Structure formats: C-alpha cells, structure tokens
C-alpha cells in the first residue's frame, strides 16, 4: 500500500490524516496516510527513513518547510517563489518539492467563496512565509492591484521587490500598516501570525470597500481576532483559513495521485466539527 504522511513538530493535532483519508475514500484510491513527528534537529533523517521504508510522499508543516526546500533536489516554480516546500514527492530521479499553500488559498477564494480575483484590489497583510507562499498564485490570478503591508514596512517593501518580475500587469506596492490610511480594498487577506496570539493587526479603519471580503489564513471556533475586528467595522463577507487547509491538501493529493478530490463534503464535515467543539 502506498504510504504518505504529514511531518512536523508538533504534529498530533494535524487534520491532514482525516482529510487525506476522506479524499482516498471518495476517489477510490488505496493508500495509508499518517502523522510523523520529527525531532527538531532530525528532519532530514526522518524523511530519509520514511522514504527508505517505501514512503511515496510527505506533507511538511512547521517548523520544517525551509528544510524541506533545501532537501528537495527539484522544486516547482511556486516552491521557488515561496522559498519553502510543503509537499515532497519521492521519485526515481530524486525528491521533488512543491508548495501548495498559495494555490489552496486561491482555490478557496475562487471556488469555495465565489470571489473573483481578476481586476480586484487585494491587500495582503504580513511579509513572512505565509505571505511569500501566497504571492505568486495571487499575482497569477491577475488582480488590478496587490498591496503588501506589514508592521515592519521594510520587510514588505523587500518582499514586493522580489516579486515585481511576476507582477504581469498587476500594480504591486508595499509599506507599513499606517501607509494604508485612505485606501480601500476589495479583498483583505491576513497572513500575519497575529491571530495565533488572539490579536488583530493594527490597521487603519476604512480599508474595506463596499462588499469587501475579509479573509484570515488562520482558523478556529468562531471569529479570529482579525475577523472580529473586521466584523465590528461592518464587514459582512468574512472567511477563515479552514478552506485553504483543505484546498492545499487537495492540491497535494492531485500531485501524488493524479486526481483532484471534491473538497466540498470534506470541508463541510470539518466545519461542523469545529462549530460543535
């Protein structure tokens, strides 16, 4: 039986085994998917042991995405752009690395939420790994403008400059949170880690255009701090990152098995479980 796993530290909380098991049942694929706890200093050894035991591929979560990038002997363009790898595929010619996070985000926005990105004004909050992973797929969706904003403005500016060759007609700009004052956006995506500490980014008010979407890459029971702040400002179209989690998993499944699962039922089950927790 083909074996896959998600590797990280910690890892016991991961929903990936349930997601991929549901995908396998739905598509008639025979596989085994488990969690793999790697020592903080033992990522490469854990991957090599899994591969030598017949493993076919790994999803990679914190804190190993940069190490996975370094380990991969071939990398996809979106992995190169992200500077991080979350999906490893073991092939006869080596280890292939990809990054499905940004593709998962875009598919959640467009397929699940019915949100058109082409021609829209997009604001991406943050300049760390989550933002970097999202940038190329967002730019490929051809928004009219994409603004990067971060608490540290220089990090946002540097990140924007590194992606300028990929802008393809999208107006790409960057700065600090105070620089956003007086601007409005159709889609605002929180890629900062603020929600992990139950905080919202210190944003100016009035950023949301009529009918705008507020999106947080984090998820939990109820609103994140960022979504609660957006709701308090009158935003009615809100979404968390649970759909992104399921969609990036589906993208990995497609890479490994050559078939794209129907994510709707899986996402609905996870949403019901989260609401009942």
In this structure, the answer to whether residues 172 and 183 fall within a common structural domain is yes
- Using left for φ > 0, alpha for ψ between -120 and 50, and beta otherwise, residue 141 falls in alpha
Binding region for shikimate: 14-16, 61, 86, 101, 219, 248
Which structure tokens are listed for 130?
């989550």
> Do residue 193 and residue 107 come from a single domain?
yes
77-111: pLDDT as tens digits: 999 999 999 999 999 999 999 999 999 999 999 99
Regarding whether 177 and 83 lie in a shared domain, the answer is no
Q: Are residues 56 and 75 in the same domain?
A: yes
Tell whether omega for the bond before 63 is within 30 degrees of 0, i.e. cis.
Answer: yes
Domain ranges, residue 85: 2-99+243-276
**Same domain assignment for residues 150 and 236:** yes
Structural domain count of the chain? 2
Residues 6 or more apart whose Cβ sits within 8 Å of residue 199:
225
**Each residue of 241-272: pLDDT tens digit?**
999 999 999 999 999 999 999 999 999 999 99
CATH of the domain at 173: 3.40.50.720
Same domain? For 176 and 76 the reply is no
Alpha-helical (H) ranges within 180-240 are 225-232
Residues 124 and 160: their CA atoms lie apart, in Å, by 11
From the annotation, which residues make up the binding site? 14-16, 61, 86, 101, 126-130, 217, 219, 241, 248
- Tell me, yes or no, whether 117 and 179 share the same domain: yes
Q: Identify whether residues 209 and 118 lie together within a single domain.
A: yes
Whether residues 166 and 148 fall in one domain? yes
3-class SS string, 234-274? CCCEEECCHHHHHHHHHHHHHHHHCCCCCHHHHHHHHHHHH
Which is catalytic among the residues 65, 96, 120, 257? Answer: 65
**pTM greater than the 0.85 cutoff:** yes
Whether residue 82 is found in the same domain as residue 19: yes
Question: Is 221 tagged catalytic?
Answer: no
Same domain? 106 vs 220: yes
């Amino acid at each position: 039986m083909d074996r896959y796993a998600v590797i990280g530290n910690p890892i016991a909380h991961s929903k990936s085994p349930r997601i991929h098991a549901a995908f396998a049942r739905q598509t008639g694929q025979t596989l085994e998917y488990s969690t793999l706890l790697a020592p903080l200093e033992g990522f490469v050894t854990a991957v090599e042991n899994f591969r030598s035991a017949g493993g076919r591929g790994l999803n990679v979560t914190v804190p190993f995405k940069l190490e996975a990038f370094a380990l991969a002997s071939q990398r996809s363009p979106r992995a190169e752009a992200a500077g991080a790898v979350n999906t490893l595929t073991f092939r006869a010619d080596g280890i292939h690395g990809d990054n499905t996070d940004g593709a998962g985000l875009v598919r959640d926005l467009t397929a699940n939420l019915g949100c058109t990105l082409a021609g829209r004004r997009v604001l991406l909050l943050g300049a760390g790994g989550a933002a970097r992973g999202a940038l190329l797929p967002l730019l490929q969706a051809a928004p009219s403008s994409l603004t990067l904003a971060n608490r540290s403005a220089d990090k946002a500016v540097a990140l924007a400059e590194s992606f300028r060759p990929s802008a393809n007609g999208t107006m790409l700009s960057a700065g600090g949170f105070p620089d956003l004052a007086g601007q409005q956006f159709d889609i605002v995506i929180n890629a900062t880690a603020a929600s992990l500490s139950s905080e919202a980014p210190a944003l100016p008010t009035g950023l949301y255009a009529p009918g705008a979407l507020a999106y947080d890459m984090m998820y939990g029971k109820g609103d994140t701090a960022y979504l609660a702040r957006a709701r308090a400002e009158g935003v009615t179209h809100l979404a968390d990152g649970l759909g992104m989690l399921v969609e990036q998993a589906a993208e990995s499944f497609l890479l490994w098995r050559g078939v794209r699962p129907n994510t709707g039922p899986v996402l609905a089950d996870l949403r019901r479980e989260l609401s009942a927790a």
